[in-house]
Amino acid sequence: MSQELKDIAISAAQASPGIAASVFTLNNAVALATLLFIVLQCAYLVRKWVREESEWGRKLKRWAEGRVTERGEP
């Protein structure tokens, strides 16, 4: 009986990588890549909006460009 269990365990272990690989298909990979791209694009656009539209962002931009503010401070 123990040899039978060993054979079953070996067969199950050999079949496992195929089962795991078949779950993650090319369609899933494309969907995941698309989702990641959308999240990165949203983060970039929010960062850009904050830097261009908020007072703190405009001050940071002026400081980074080396321009002087209205009060004469860098």
pLDDT for 17 equals: 66
Residue 56 has pLDDT above 90, yes or no: no
Q: Is the per-residue pLDDT at 27 higher than 80?
A: yes
Q: Residue 19's pLDDT is what?
A: 59
Q: For residues 46-71, give the mean pLDDT.
A: 78
pTM, entire model: 0.50
- C-alpha distances (whole Å) from 57 to each of 1, 43, 63, 69 are 73, 15, 10, 13
pLDDT beyond 80 at 2: yes
